[in-house]
Amino acid sequence: MKNLIFVVLSLLLVTNISAQKKVDVTFEVGGVCGMCEERIEKAYDVKGIVIADYDLEIHQLHVVYKTKHFPDILDVHRLATSVGHDTDLIKASDEVYAKIHECCKYRSEKETLKCSGDHER
């Protein structure tokens, strides 16, 4: 009986530990200005995201997330695409991309304009 209780408690502990697993990833996200950086980081201000830091110079997003809330890495990428920013795995829909500010357009050289990110949103 003691062995059975020990086995059950051990399984519960292992299940709880695996549910709390954190993953640390860095991936490419399209963006060109401070407004892009704010928009991207704000998209990651959700339950299950521990850290989200976008480096505008190298177009890389560093994310630490809990697998309990994001069991699939594509779900983490979808946060960026939901606000109009392509990642190295998923492209934002054209409809969402069209809604971002004109200076935030990053998909082609023609679209990319210099922007301080300080104008009205």
* Cα–Cα distance, 111 to 103 (Å, whole number): 8
Q: What is the pLDDT of residue 121?
A: 40
Residues in the chain, overall count: 121
Domains (range + CATH), the chain: 21-104 (3.30.70.100)
* Cα–Cα distance, 27 to 34 (Å, whole number): 18
Q: What is the pLDDT of residue 82?
A: 98
pLDDT digits (tens, 9 = 90+) for 21-76: 999 999 999 999 999 999 999 999 999 999 999 999 999 999 999 999 999 999 99
SS3 18: helix
Instruction: Give the pTM.
Output: 0.77
* Cα–Cα distance, 30 to 9 (Å, whole number): 46
Average pLDDT, the chain: 85
SS3 24: strand
